[in-house]
Structure 1
Amino acid sequence: MGMGPVSGRGSRRAPMADINVTPLVDVMLVLLIIFMVTAPLMLAGVPVDLPESSAGALDQEKEPVQVSLDGEGKLYLDEQEVQMSAMDARFAEIAAKSGTGKDGPQVFLRADRALDYGRVMAVMGALNHAGLNKVALVTMGESKSP
């Protein structure tokens, strides 16, 4: 009667208690590469230095229309630059295509913090005049510095 592994031909091997982590590391590295490649694509296309706010995020059902004003005062509709003189016509076109009022599209207005308040209000007035009343001002999250 043997009490444990015996060397020789008829011996049994003890079960291996080590975990093979190589497949886990391979999967994690692939996921890391996927996130590193896709993360920059998820950001908005127009670089804007947004102000900070303590307001919470909004729930959205449809894809919103992005209106951006960069630091130089250039107007962008989604990621295409729009001349300020053509702003009213473009907003009216969006309103005619998707409706106005409660059924109209959600508009996200992103404006650089260095811009004049009057320029932002001019864009908001043009949106209101076109009937696009569901406007949300996009800001950065609240900073923890005093």
Structure 2
Amino acid sequence: MALGGGASGGGRRGRRGRRGPLTEINVTPLVDVMLVLLIIFMISAPLLTVGVPVELPKTEASAVETDNEPLSVSIDQQGAIFIADSETSFDDLAVRLLTEAGGSDKASERPVFVRADGRAPYQAVARVMARLSASGFTKLNLITDTAPEA
């Protein structure tokens, strides 16, 4: 007696099987990509600090810990002097480094990293360190590579 099969529920079953569009964003791939980028930048950031290529002498000294941002002075194989990555003359060394440090009162607080090529003349390195010391810089550090294990 049933006309049209209203008791079977066939219309509902078809609706229940369909699903609506996915409205949530899956952030797991985004987090994975961001972590990979973070690791890449953490590894490559120390390599971008100094632009003058020098071959550092090998020593058995340990790393230097510092709180303040260090100033970098490089001396290449021919004895040319660089502050960060721009060349400077010996006469302008103290003035340029004092302006980088923020004045003569901050000179004693900021460490200076002297990166000298292992084949650079000893006289050039000694003159630079003497000029820096006379200009008020007291925290002078010679940067070297660690010697390979025997």
TM-score interval for Structure 1 and Structure 2 normalised by the shorter chain: 0.5 to 0.7
Cross-structure match for 1:124: 129
- TM-score in terms of structure 1 length: 0.67
Q: Aligned match of 2:141 in 129, 136, 140?
A: 136
Which structure 2 residues correspond to residues 1-146 of structure 1 after superposition, within 5 A? 35-36=39-40, 39-43=43-47, 44-94=50-100, 97=103, 99=105, 103-145=108-150
Total equivalences in the alignment:
122
Aligned amino acid, residue 99 of structure 1 = D
Deviating above 3 A after TM superposition, structure 1's stretches of 4 or more consecutive aligned residues are 24-41, 91-96
For 1:48 and 1:96, the matched residues in 2 are separated by 27
Letter matched to residue 139 of structure 1: T
C-alpha separation in 1, matches of 2:68 and 2:76: 24
- The code of the aligned residue for 2:136 comes to G
Following superposition, the deviation at residue 81 of structure 1 comes to 1.3
SS at 1:127 equivalent? helix
Contact 1:91 1:126 in 2 (8 A): no
- Cα distance change on mapping 1:35 and 1:118 into 2, 3 Å: same
Residue 67 of structure 1 and its aligned partner are, at CA, apart by: 0.5
Q: Structure 1 residues 30 and 88, CA, compared in 2 at 3 Å: closer, same or farther?
A: closer
Structure with max Cα Rg:
2
Task: State the secondary structure of the residue aligned to 1:97.
Answer: coil
RMSD: 2.9
Is this contact kept in 2: 1:95–1:131, CA < 8 A?
no
